[in-house]
Amino acid sequence: MNAKVAVRAERPGDRTAISDVVRRAYAKVVHSDHREHLMIERLRGTEAWIPALSLLAEMSGEIVGHILLTRAEIIQTPSSVATLALAPLSVVPEHQRSGVGKHLVAVACQRASELGFESILLIGIPSYYPQFGFEPLSRYPITLPFDAPDENRMVLPLQQGALDGVAGEVKYARGWLDH
């Protein structure tokens, strides 16, 4: 990262800028439906929304990236275990591969841990997320409610043993999977 990147929580006036960053970030992504910005809008109106975990990256006052973590659950009978879902991670094209995304992920994981969350799930690029400690979800008896390639399904225990004895299916927030 050449310039200083500041990470902060989303503020009420940031919605349009976030939508723009997300659209720009995913405009040329082949495996995208180009509707990630709509998912963020849907999630804002749910119980899964955590304002402190909708984070922006700014450089020289310009918003260049965004990351979102929302509440999810791993449903076990008869109970459930709280977790977080990471999606989307967005960096505008001119700042991709500059460390902005890495900084956003690191800060998001730290803040999630500080807020008492114990794990984060994601569907992502298998060559990118392991640098933060994400590992294959297949190491745990945890399933997703949709198909995704095994190498793209990952989890990060934020505390030692956080997923010991946890088994079940992930339940994402209303709005996460809706189109």
- Is residue 148 exposed (0-12), middle (13-18) or buried (19+ Cβ within 10 Å)? exposed
Q: Average pLDDT of the chain? A: 91
The pLDDT tens digits of the residues spanning 160-171 come to 999 999 999 999
pTM: 0.93
Residue 39: the pLDDT is 87
Q: Which of 41-45, 68-72, 129-133, 150-154 has the lowest mean pLDDT?
A: 41-45
* H-only helix segments in 6-149: 15-26, 36-44, 100-114
Residue 32: the pLDDT is 62
The pLDDT tens digits of the residues spanning 70-110 come to 999 999 877 899 999 999 999 999 999 999 999 999 999 99
Residue 179: the pLDDT is 45
Phi/psi at 170 (nearest 5 deg)? -70, 135
The answer to whether 68 and 12 are in contact (CB under 8 A) is: no
The answer to whether 72 and 170 are in contact (CB under 8 A) is: yes
Please, what are the domains in the chain?
6-172 (3.40.630.30)
Q: Is the pLDDT of residue 1 over 60?
A: no
Residue type, 83: T
Q: Which band of pLDDT confidence, cut at 50, 70 and 90, is reported for residue 127?
A: very high
Q: Is the pLDDT of residue 3 over 70?
A: no
The pLDDT tens digits of the residues spanning 27-83 come to 877 566 667 888 889 999 899 999 999 999 999 999 999 999 999 999 987 789 999
Residue 11: the pLDDT is 94
